[in-house]
Amino acid sequence: SPQKQSIFFSKITYSGRIISFMASFLTIIIFFLICFELGIHRYLALGLSFIYSFIPLDVGLSIQSKSNALMVFIVLLIFYLCLRWLKEGRDWQIWGASLLVGMATGAYLNGFLSILIVILAILLKYKFEFYKFFFRRIKKTNLFLTFNQTNDFV
């Protein structure tokens, strides 16, 4: 019946709007965390986040069912994880940022360009000696594989 179809399609539209709204809301939180990580005082970071929340583009995208709001959130999350990795050096942060590059690409094709943020973070961490990043991982992997092979024979 037409009435059931209109209810079904309105629920799909609202669920898409909820995802866009939540992505925009989380973008404001990530924006605050990025400002805080960059050394900006928390009240100023809160004010900047408040100003960001009134940008017409962000408000317009948060009430529509568009993937742009989700991509902006994912790209800012990639930037935040790369900042944290540069400060703390935990490998899961850079691997998570790399995984999010794929999600940003899935949300919107231009999200592929966020790989540049990850590459820049790796270059900054290893002072433009990019090969050290991979050799460090290869040594860990070889040690792990050798350890597993010796345990199989014991």
- Closest by CA position to 23, among listed 97, 82, 93, 108: 108
pLDDT of residue 80: 95
Q: Which of 68-82, 117-131, 140-154 shows the highest mean pLDDT?
A: 68-82
- Closest by CA position to 149, among listed 141, 136, 137, 134: 141
- Tell me the pLDDT band of 134, cut-offs 50, 70 and 90: low
Residues 21, 111: Cα–Cα separation, whole Å: 19
Residues 139, 144: Cα–Cα separation, whole Å: 9
pLDDT digits over 6-62, tens only? 555 556 666 667 777 788 889 889 999 999 899 888 889 888 888 887 877 766 766
Residues 130, 136: Cα–Cα separation, whole Å: 11
Residues 116, 79: Cα–Cα separation, whole Å: 10
Residue pair 66/108 in contact (Cβ under 8 Å)? The answer is no
